């Protein structure tokens, strides 16, 4: 009886909240996506030889990235401007969220690390997003590849044909 009473007292004092929080957090761990160990498609690999500098234009159906990458040893300085293509900027009025990242891969294209790239928050799809990141490279890095996900919405109500949304994403992995 005293064990039951002490258990009830423990639950009153927040034990139930702690247990519930632990269950929820443990369950959510399975939802976190990691691409480590997966393979980047050949055509999306961008070579990162030590001591080199590279400027180029990356294009996808949703996004254009004008970037400059400089590798010195185990460090990558990556900067540029990302902007939405007309498919997004002409059709939608609001960006609800956007996440840009770069996959760092070995000589075989196997992903060693996924590094997020900080872009300024902008809810206007016509704005350009400048970025500049210094990224510590894991040993064996030979390539990088861009990846992103986001959501665009149009204003208006459903009655007047507006208010639609689209998820935009690109993950250049071999399936």
Tell me the pLDDT tens digit for each residue of 94-127: 999 999 999 999 999 999 999 999 987 678 999 9
Q: Are 152 and 125 in contact (CB under 8 A)?
A: yes
Distance between first and last Cα of the chain = 57
The closest of 58, 80, 79, 173 to 135, measured between CA atoms, is 79
The closest of 74, 90, 32, 69 to 146, measured between CA atoms, is 69
In the numeric block, which tokens belong to residue 37? 């160990």
Q: Rounded to whole angstroms, how far apart are CA atoms 37 and 47? A: 18
What are the CA-CA distances from residue 49 to residues 69, 70, 79 (Å)? 10, 9, 17
Average pLDDT on 127-136 reads 95
| pLDDT at site 120 | 79
| pLDDT at site 119 | 86
Q: Rounded to whole angstroms, how far apart are CA atoms 21 and 98? A: 28
pTM of the predicted model over 0.75 = yes
The closest of 82, 80, 72, 43 to 141, measured between CA atoms, is 72
**pLDDT > 70: what percent of the chain?**
76
- Reply yes or no on whether the pLDDT at 6 is more than 80: no
| pLDDT at site 159 | 56
In the numeric block, which tokens belong to residue 21? 């929080």
- Reply yes or no on whether the pLDDT at 28 is more than 70: no
- Which H or E run contains 9? helix 2-10
In the chain, what are the domain boundaries? 1-32, 42-170
| pLDDT at site 161 | 54
| Residue pLDDT, tens place only, 48-68 | 999 999 999 999 989 999 999
CATH topology of domain 42-170: Immunoglobulin-like (2.60.40)
How buried is residue 68: exposed, middle or buried, by Cβ count under 10 Å (0-12/13-18/19+)? middle
| pLDDT at site 26 | 37
| pLDDT at site 115 | 96
């Amino acid at each position: 009886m005293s064990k039951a009473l002490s258990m009830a007292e423990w639950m009153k004092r927040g034990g139930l909240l702690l247990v519930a929080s632990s269950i929820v957090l443990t369950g959510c761990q399975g939802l976190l996506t990691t691409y480590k160990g997966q393979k980047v498609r050949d055509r999306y690999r961008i070579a990162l030889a030590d001591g080199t500098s590279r400027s180029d234009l990356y294009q996808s159906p949703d996004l254009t990235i004008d970037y400059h990458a400089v590798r010195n040893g185990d460090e990558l300085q990556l900067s540029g401007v990302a902007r939405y293509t007309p498919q997004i900027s002409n059709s939608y009025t609001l960006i609800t969220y956007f996440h840009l990242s770069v996959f760092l891969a070995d000589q075989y294209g196997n992903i060693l690390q996924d590094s997020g790239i900080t872009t300024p928050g902008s809810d206007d799809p016509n704005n350009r997003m400048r970025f500049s990141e210094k990224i510590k490279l894991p040993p064996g890095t030979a390539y990088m590849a861009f990846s992103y996900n986001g959501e665009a919405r149009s204003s208006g109500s459903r009655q007047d044909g507006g208010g639609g949304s689209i998820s935009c994403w690109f993950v250049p992995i071999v399936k």
